[in-house]
Amino acid sequence: MTPEKLIETVFPPMLASLVAAPPADESGWLLELKYDGFRALAGLAGGRVALWSRNRLDLAGRFAQVAGALAELDVGDAVLDGEICAFDTRGRSRFQLLQEGAGAGLVYVVFDLLWLDGADLRARPLEERRERLERLLADAPNGLALSKRVAGPAARALAEAARRGEEGLILKARGSRYEGKRAKTWLKLKALLNQEVAIVGYELLDGATDQIGSLVVAVAEGRKLRFAGKVGTGFSTAVRRELLAKLAPDRVDEAPVVDPPKLRDAIWVEPRLVAQVRFTEWTRDDKLRHPSFQGLRADKAPLDCVRERPSEASE
């Protein structure tokens, strides 16, 4: 079987449910660090490697260093689930660094093993999959790493993650199987707020004609987009120019959002690109407060940009 067919066999990847607080009883949960990168399934077969995003985008060419490290694993065939990350000088994963081409620092952080040597492991308990993954990665080459387990209680671990500037935590139910959907047996607690947004327009930088000054962004509601604010920070001069070059050909006459705001200097575009932003909170009128650009997400479509709303862990 080809590595692409292997991934297709276990597709789609499992997704975690965002919650506002950890479960009341944490005895049935294991905690892992949450990483800020590109989610990717890796298929290995016959010495070949396939690397897919969660919308089937081929990532092997873009992240050739990761694909090369995976090819060095001593395994017959396997499917791994993990996050392609770039780390800053303090050891924190940063999506923005992926956009800046941090090639030497790329690491595929693996957190699950779905297939190994002809066996589908998705129905096996979480602990067994983790144990097999640990053995597989015991002598892993540079560029591959096992996701970090952290000690509870979750509230204290989340506070420590926030202090360090980490993304947050993932809580996984003991004994749980791997499900190809968003499930309540994987929970995510965010220490930092991030949101994927559709780019629906831009404003030029004051006094410049070759750079964007801010992005106009939106989130999806069903099959429509709703204005979510403007993003004016987080850009280098080079990125401001690159974004203008990408967006200018998509210019349209009318705002592609419901209830468009009155923005005198806005130039509207056909929604095609997705950005990841970091922000402090949602305002009462459903706008992003103090958003900062982190990078473009080629693995997401505009209508995938649904506002994440935390639920109760027990729901």
- Enumerate domains of the chain plus CATH numbers: 3-190 (3.30.470.30), 193-304 (2.40.50.140)
**pLDDT for the residue 100:** 64
Task: Average the pLDDT over 65-71 and give the result.
Answer: 94
Beta bridge partners of 156: none
Residues annotated catalytic, as ranges: 34
Lowest-pLDDT range, 100-104, 250-254, 277-281, 290-294?
A: 100-104
The phi and psi torsions of 181 (rounded to 5 degrees) equal -165, 175
Residue 312: per-residue pLDDT: 67
The reported pLDDT for the residue numbered 313 is 66
Q: 42: burial class by Cβ within 10 Å (0-12, 13-18, 19+)?
A: buried
The pLDDT assigned to 105 comes to 76
For the cut 80, the answer to whether the pLDDT of residue 210 exceeds it is yes
pLDDT (0 to 100) of residue 308: 85
pLDDT of 25-53, one tens digit each? 999 999 999 999 999 999 999 889 999 99
What's the mean pLDDT in 89-105? Answer: 77
- CA dist 101 and 164 (Å) reads 23
Tokens of 239: 């990125």
Q: 274-315 pLDDT, tens per residue?
A: 999 999 889 999 999 999 999 999 889 999 999 988 876 655
Using DSSP's 3-state secondary structure scheme, residue 76 falls into: coil
CB atoms within 10 A of CB 309: 8
What pLDDT shows up at residue 311?
Answer: 76
| Strand boundaries in the chain, DSSP class E | 15-18, 29-34, 38-45, 48-52, 77-86, 106-116, 119-120, 144-146, 149-150, 168-173, 182-190, 193-204, 212-221, 224-231, 267-268, 274-279, 281-282, 288-289, 292-296
pLDDT score recorded for residue 208: 85
Work out the average pLDDT over 87-105.
78
Q: Phi/psi at 90 (nearest 5 deg)?
A: -100, 10
**Residue carrying structure tokens 């401001």:** 240
Supply the pTM of this predicted model. 0.86
CB 305 within 8 A of CB 220: yes
pLDDT of amino acid 119: 97
